[in-house]
Structure formats: structure tokens, C-alpha cells
Structure 1
Amino acid sequence: MKLIFLGTSAGRPTVARNVTAIALIFPEHQHRFWLFDAGEGTQHQLLRAKMKLNKLERIFITHLHGDHLYGLPGLLSSRTYFEGAGKLHVYGPPGLRAYLECVMLQSGAHLNYELEITEIEAGPIATGDEDFAVEADELVHRIRSFGYRIVERQRSGPLQLDLLAQRGIRPGPLYGRLKRGEDVVLENGETLRASEVVGPPAPGRIVAILGDTSPCEAAVRLAKDADLLVHEATFGTGMEEKAADYGHSTILQAAQAASLAKAKRLAVTHISARYDEQALAQQISEVRDVFPNIEAAFDFLELILPPH
């Protein structure tokens, strides 16, 4: 499981940074991926990252500002040309359906796959995915903006191969049943309980990806104990008043949210064009005493989330 940042600029693209889009990739599931926001030019970024739209299964839009949304219609249209592109689920705030229906109607776009649009509210999102649960909560911004919490479901523990060998049980179908937590009856009539030969279950990974937001309780709730928090940091430390005026956060406020949530790792994004890389690095170093495991995202940065 890994994240790729496809755009990390705030408001408008720069030479070095495109506007917001993040891909969450599942290599263990044929490299299928989910997309969080789709600013203008996102499909170009996907091409550069060598990612195919027929592997895209779900899109989550945080809010309807253009730097998070204007790349979506073109991306949906281009997906038509990818062989094997199945049903696509798109989630986002109220108003998303009207926006997409208007663009598609007025442009005469035709999709050769099923598109399902779900307008969300705060709370669990019924994605139907067996491996991950998704929850949304409303943040504080100039328009309605949401954050998403993605929780991998608990995975079964490892088989204790040495114990199975001692019992004379060779690799085969019984291994799979035991791994799934099923008790099995052996050839001698003895019942072997899965709990005897399977280790404790492993907790799933947690990722929190937030839309534009001022500091708020919802951001901390979504990021609670997260393996990775992705938080906007449009402004540098010391510009908290201006950040509040525009419904954004500073790098310091993002670090404080990660600390309050007891997140393990923080990546800040949505960086204002006023900061060059040297200034950004300085800002990051100044907040490490608040949250040490922080880094500034840049376009095409890949963050690996190993299993627990």
C-alpha cells in the first residue's frame, strides 16, 4: 500500500508543482488505486507516473474548489479509451453530481463504463469494499470541505508453520481454511482449532487524507492513531491569521493536529507558491519539536505504508 502525490500546489499550478491530487495504490491487489481529488492536469500526472485509468476504482473529492476538481471531467472522459475500465465510483460533497452532469451534457461526453456518483455527508461511506472502511467528516473551510479516513480491515495472523509440521499437516487446502479462522477435522477425526495454529490478528493500516481546512476537531478525529496523515499547509508558521481568513492551515497547525491525533507520520501538502524549496525546508525544520516525523510532499513523492 502506498501513496503517490500527483499534485501538491495550493490554488494554482507552478512549474514545479501541479494542483491537488493523491493516488492511494494497492500493489497487492493488481495495483488498483483510488484517487483523492483531481485538480486540472491530473490525468497528465497519472501518465507521468505510469498509472493506467483502467486500474482506477474510486475517486474521493474533498471539496468543489477548482484546484481540487477541474481535472475530473477530462479524466472521466479519457478513461473511456482504456480497455477493461469497469464501473467507477465517485464520492464528494453535495453539488458534485450537478457539476458533472452539466459538464458531460454540455460537452457531449459519452462514457462506455458505468459511473456511480455518491454525494456524501459526515459519517461512514458505504463503498462496498471488503478490505477497507472509509469514513468522512466535515472540515472548516470557505465552502463545504471533507476529510477521509481509510481503515484497512483487521487481517488474520500468520500460520504457525512449525506447529503444523509437528502435527504432520502438509501444505494444502487446510492451510487456507485455518488461515481464514476455520476449525478443521483431520483424517484421524481430531478437530484442529484455528486459534491453536494461527498467530494473533494484525491491525489494519490507517490513512487520513484531508481537504482544505482550518484547525478543527474533525481533522484530529479523522487522523486519530493514523499511520499517515496528509494535511494541507498552505501558509508558513506565523501566518495563522491570514490562514484563518482563507480557511486554511499553517505548517505549525498541521504539526499540532498530527500531535493531538497521535498520528505516526505527517505529510504536508497544498503548498503556497510563495515558498521555494529552501524556505519550505526551513519551515519544516522549525516544527519538528511539535511533531518530529513530518515531511513536505512534492509531486511524485511516493510514501510506502508497510503492513503491521
Structure 2
Amino acid sequence: MSLRVTFLGTGGAVPTTERAPSALFVNREGDHLLFDCGEGTQRGMMRFGTGFGVDRIFVSHLHGDHVLGIPGLVQTLGFTDRTEPLTIHCPPGTSEDLDALVHAAGHQPRFPVRIEEVAPGAVAYEADAYTVSAFETAHRTRSQGYVLAEDDRKGRFDRPRAEELGVPVGPAFGRLHAGETVELEDGTVVEPEQVVGPPRPGRTLVYTADTRPVDETVAVAEGADLLVHDATFADDMAGRARETAHSTGREAGTIARRADVARLALVHISSRYAGDASAIRQDAQEAFDGACLLPDDGTEIRVPFPDATA
């Protein structure tokens, strides 16, 4: 099952010619999820080939660089003759303002737009094999991040062992893998645990949006496969990061190390680094020895399963 992440907007509050404001597109086996929707998101969708088939938008907070792309995207979706509903998840107490944004300039969407508030610690969306939950972050307004966590997968089926036990090739294999007991023709009973390994973990993706480094992120991101963290400034601007309730690359790296994540992606890069943001990644790598990414707009990465082999 594929889990692809496309960074549509990796910049801070002020866009640059290279970085648009915040937007993260996630394609989880055909489910299209958008985390924040800054100005220009729909152009990024066209430019980087994700398409407009968004099922749900998860809003972290109501600062303009995270939501001003919503009115334009909703209108464009209407022009494509969309009929299926669009659900927008948002922090508590923000739904009225979001509704006003959707209806900006008197626009009436041509399809249902549902706005659902979700409190930190609660599940925003529960799908067949994964959930998206909210967690509290620390910014200058009511804000939250989101965790996409897949369910555990079935353990590996040990075919040689099954054949050794006399299980005939065919439907009995599937029944055992599904957790059913199988009785052979000679009366021998084979239990699933004899031929099926322990459950294998699914993948976890954590998106913080704008935040100071907080313990809540460490808790929800423990062992995550990908942490997408605010890294607005390099370490020499740590005072400015505190004043504006953002994080530095080093602070993001420290969170990643404490949470023992597999990969860290640094986003919300301030426009002051329009020419060269490498100092942010260097600071992060000094604090975190795992894979550290400084994605550009349009960067796409695939998130492998924790037990995937090279």
C-alpha cells in the first residue's frame, strides 16, 4: 500500500518565488488528504501533479498562510463539476470563521462543504485501516497538529511451515492468515499462530504545522516514520523563533531525536532564507542523526513500512 507525501507549500508566512505557504498533500492508497491550504495551493496541485481530488482538508490554525488557499480551491472544485462533499477539519472554536472563508465574496459552493471541529486528543477521521487524530501544539493562536496512524497489519504467513504441518495449498492458507483455525482431513487442528507471525506495525506520519517545540509532539511522534515539523529559523534566530512561537531547525531536530523518528522534514521556512536554507538543515542534523530532509515545493517522498527491506 502506497503512502506518498507531496510538499505543495514549504514556506513561511511570506511566500517567495521558490516556496509557497503551507500545504501538505498526502495520498494514502488513493485517499487524498490535504494538511493546511495556504495561498497558491491549487497552483501547486497543478504544477506538481497531485490533481484536485481532495477528500478532506485538515486545518492546523487560522493564520492566513495556512488557510487563504481554501476559497480559491473550493471555487475551482466547483468548476470541475464536483458533487461529492468536502470535509474540512479544524480546531475547536474556528468553524464559523472557516465557514465565512469558504463563502468569501458571497460564493456559494456547488457541492456540500462540511466543517467539523476536532479537539486535541480526538480522532478527526477514522478510515478502514488508519486514523487521523489531532494533538495540541503551541503557537500564537489556537493551533494543533495531526497524526496519521495506520492500523497494524497481519503477520507474515509462513508457507513452508504450513506445508510442513500438512495444510493443503489453497483456501486453507487464506483462512489461517485471516485468523481462523483449520482442521485437516486426518483431524489435525492447525492454529493461526502456528503459521502466522506477530502483527506488523503500520506507518505513522506526524504534521505539526506552526509550533514551538513541545512535549506533546514527542509523545505522539514516538517512533514515527515521518515527522513534518516547523523549522522556520536557523539557530542564530532562536530568540525570534520564541517571539513568534515557531521552531528552529535545531529545535525540530531535538524533537525528532527525542521521539526517535525515522525521518524528519523541515518546513515553514522563513523568507529570509530564500537564497539558501541549508543552515536550518545543518542545525537540525547536529541534533538528530536520522534522515533529515529540507524539501522544496514539489518534493514527493514515499513513506515505507517500518519492516520494509531495501
**Per-residue Cα deviation, 1:132-175 (whole angstroms, up to 9, x for no partner):** 12322221111111011221110001222223344252234x43
Picking from 113, 136, 139, the partner of 2:137 is 139
- C-alpha deviation, 1:183, in angstroms: 2.2
**CA shift in 2, pair 1:165/1:98, >3 Å:** same
- C-alpha deviation, 1:234, in angstroms: 0.9
Q: Secondary structure at the match of 2:7?
A: strand
Whole-Å Cα distance in 1 between the matches of residues 94 and 189 of structure 2?
A: 55
What amino acid maps onto 1:25 in structure 2?
N
Question: In the alignment, what sits opposite 1:107?
Answer: 106
**CA shift in 2, pair 1:48/1:154, >3 Å:** same
Question: In the alignment, what sits opposite 2:5?
Answer: 3
Q: Secondary structure at the match of 2:87?
A: strand
Q: Secondary structure at the match of 1:288?
A: helix
- C-alpha deviation, 1:253, in angstroms: 0.9
Whole-Å Cα distance in 2 between the matches of residues 243 and 121 of structure 1?
A: 26
Whole-Å Cα distance in 1 between the matches of residues 97 and 90 of structure 2?
A: 11
Q: Within 5 A, what are the aligned runs for 1:1-40?
A: 1-26=3-28, 29=29, 31-40=30-39
Question: What is the percent sequence identity of the aligned residues?
Answer: 34
Q: Secondary structure at the match of 1:155?
A: coil
Q: Secondary structure at the match of 1:16?
A: coil
- C-alpha deviation, 1:102, in angstroms: 2.1
Whole-Å Cα distance in 2 between the matches of residues 168 and 2 of structure 1?
A: 38
CA contact (8 A) 1:61 1:91 kept: yes
Whole-Å Cα distance in 2 between the matches of residues 47 and 95 of structure 1?
A: 32
- C-alpha deviation, 1:189, in angstroms: 4.8
- C-alpha deviation, 1:75, in angstroms: 1.6
Q: Within 5 A, what are the aligned runs for 1:184-203?
A: 184-203=182-201
Q: Secondary structure at the match of 2:13?
A: coil
Question: In the alignment, what sits opposite 1:232?
Answer: 230
Question: In the alignment, what sits opposite 1:282?
Answer: 279
Picking from 153, 156, 170, the partner of 1:155 is 153
Does structure 1 residue 211 correspond to structure 2 residue 209?
Answer: yes
**CA shift in 2, pair 1:260/1:86, >3 Å:** same
CA contact (8 A) 2:35 2:57 kept: yes
Structure 1 unmatched runs, 5+: none
- C-alpha deviation, 1:301, in angstroms: 1.0
**CA shift in 2, pair 1:14/1:62, >3 Å:** same
CA contact (8 A) 1:206 1:228 kept: yes
Whole-Å Cα distance in 1 between the matches of residues 83 and 159 of structure 2?
A: 40
Q: Secondary structure at the match of 1:37?
A: strand
- C-alpha deviation, 1:268, in angstroms: 0.5
**Per-residue Cα deviation, 1:82-109 (whole angstroms, up to 9, x for no partner):** 4676333221113442123324445232
**CA shift in 2, pair 1:138/1:304, >3 Å:** same
What amino acid maps onto 1:22 in structure 2?
L
What amino acid maps onto 1:87 in structure 2?
P
What amino acid maps onto 1:224 in structure 2?
E
Q: Secondary structure at the match of 1:33?
A: strand
**CA shift in 2, pair 1:74/1:176, >3 Å:** farther
Question: In the alignment, what sits opposite 1:120?
Answer: 118
Whole-Å Cα distance in 1 between the matches of residues 52 and 131 of structure 2?
A: 22
**Per-residue Cα deviation, 1:212-235 (whole angstroms, up to 9, x for no partner):** 111222222222221111111111
**CA shift in 2, pair 1:275/1:108, >3 Å:** closer
CA contact (8 A) 1:147 1:222 kept: no
- C-alpha deviation, 1:298, in angstroms: 1.1
Whole-Å Cα distance in 1 between the matches of residues 174 and 42 of structure 2?
A: 40
Question: In the alignment, what sits opposite 1:182?
Answer: 180
**CA shift in 2, pair 1:125/1:168, >3 Å:** closer
Question: In the alignment, what sits opposite 1:62?
Answer: 60
Structure 2 unmatched runs, 5+: none
Whole-Å Cα distance in 1 between the matches of residues 62 and 94 of structure 2?
A: 7
- C-alpha deviation, 1:192, in angstroms: 2.8
Whole-Å Cα distance in 2 between the matches of residues 120 and 168 of structure 1?
A: 48
TM-score normalised according to structure 1 size: 0.89
How many pairs align?
A: 301
